[in-house]
Amino acid sequence: MSAREQLTEKILASKRKLGLKWSTIASALGSSSPILYTAALLGQFSLTPEEAERAVALLELEESDAILLTESPNRGANSVMPPTDPLIYRFYELIQNYGTTWKALIEEEFGDGILSAIDFNMSIARQPDPKGDRVKIEMSGKFLPFKRF
């Protein structure tokens, strides 16, 4: 297990021990998205040095852990494809079923290109519904047209 994976395990153990929610942790770290902070603490994004210091203090980590929290991650390195976790698999299933539809509709509106996952915003919210609460996910990414050369 890499040092970063070990740190993720320490973070999760501390979160459990302290009884913290991701939203509480995010509020303590700064003004960025709770999604960004959660991703960072799970090893998929980096924190600023100031955010890392706040994370170390809040989660009772070692000072040396702050350095790992600021390093560029190896995104998706431990992903299994297709995903085996049922919730994550449903996102994969959405792409299997609707990926070509999303691509066709985006290309019809914008042309040949991609949705940026770098210049990107996302929010997750609970949407009350009499038949059972729903998960509402909004994503907004910059459109990047393919360049001819």
| DSSP-assigned letter for residue 117 | E
Distances (CA, A) of 63 to 15, 53, 54, 68: 17, 8, 10, 10
Q: Which of 23, 27, 64, 116 is an active site residue?
A: 116
List the beta bridge partners of residue 6. none
Radius of gyration (Cα) for the chain, nearest Å? 18
Say whether 60 is catalytic: no
Q: Which of 5, 23, 50, 90 is an active site residue?
A: 90
On whether the CB atoms of residues 4 and 68 are closer than 8 A, the answer is: yes
The upper half-sphere exposure of residue 13, i.e. CA atoms within 13 Å in the direction of its Cβ, equals 8
The total number of residues shown for the chain amounts to 149
Say whether 16 is catalytic: no
Say whether 62 is catalytic: no
Q: Which of 62, 71, 93, 107 is an active site residue?
A: 93
Distances (CA, A) of 46 to 37, 85, 118: 9, 24, 13
Active site residues: 90, 93, 116
